[in-house]
Amino acid sequence: MDLNNDLNHNNDEAKEKNEEKKIEQNDENPNSPKFDAQDKLRSILPNYNQQYNLWDYRVGFGRRFAAAIIDSIFVAILISILGFATGVFSTNMNFSDFIDPNFATNFMKDYLPITLLVSFVYYSTEILLSGSPGKHVLGIIIAEENMHYANYYQLTTRFLIKHLDLVFSLIYYFTWSSIFSTLSSYVSFLVMIFFFFVIRQNKQSIYDKITKTAVFFKKEVDINIEKESQPNI
- Whether residue 61 is found in the same domain as residue 120: yes
Look up the domain containing 146 and give its range.
54-229
User: What does the pLDDT average to over 90-104?
Assistant: 75
Residue 61 confidence (pLDDT) above 90: yes
> Per residue, what are the HEC states of the chain?
CHHHHHHHHHHHHHHHHHHHHHHHHHHHCCCCCCCCHHHHHHHHCCCCCCCCCHHHHECCHHHHHHHHHHHHHHHHHHHHHHHHHHCCCCCCCCHHHHHCHHHHHHHHHHHHHHHHHHHHHHHCHHHHCCCCHHHHHCCEEEEECCCCECCHHHHHHHHHHHCHHHHHHHHHHHHCCHHHHHHHHHHHHHHHHHHHHHHCCCCCCHHHHHHCEEEEEHHHHHHHHHHHHCCCC
pLDDT digits (tens, 9 = 90+) for 11-20: 555 555 555 5
How many domains does the chain divide into?
2
Q: Higher-confidence residue: 2 or 78?
A: 78
pLDDT at position 3 is 43
Residue 152 confidence (pLDDT) above 60: yes
pLDDT at position 2 is 47
User: What does the pLDDT average to over 51-63?
Assistant: 84
- Whether residue 8 is found in the same domain as residue 116: no
Find the range with the poorest average confidence among 113-122, 146-155, 174-183, 205-214. 174-183
Residue 19 domain-assigned?
A: yes
Residue 170 domain-assigned?
A: yes
Residue 23 confidence (pLDDT) above 80: no
Residue 49 domain-assigned?
A: no
- Whether residue 89 is found in the same domain as residue 29: no
- Whether residue 15 is found in the same domain as residue 100: no
Residue 129 domain-assigned?
A: yes
- Whether residue 105 is found in the same domain as residue 208: yes
- Whether residue 107 is found in the same domain as residue 38: no
Find the range with the poorest average confidence among 44-53, 121-130, 191-200. 44-53
Kindly tell me the burial class for residue 125, based on how many C-beta atoms sit within 10 Å of its own C-beta (0-12, 13-18, 19 or more).
middle
Instruction: Please give the mean pLDDT across all residues of the chain.
Output: 82
Residue 35 confidence (pLDDT) above 90: no
Residue 4 confidence (pLDDT) above 70: no
pLDDT digits (tens, 9 = 90+) for 110-141: 899 999 999 999 999 999 999 999 999 999 99
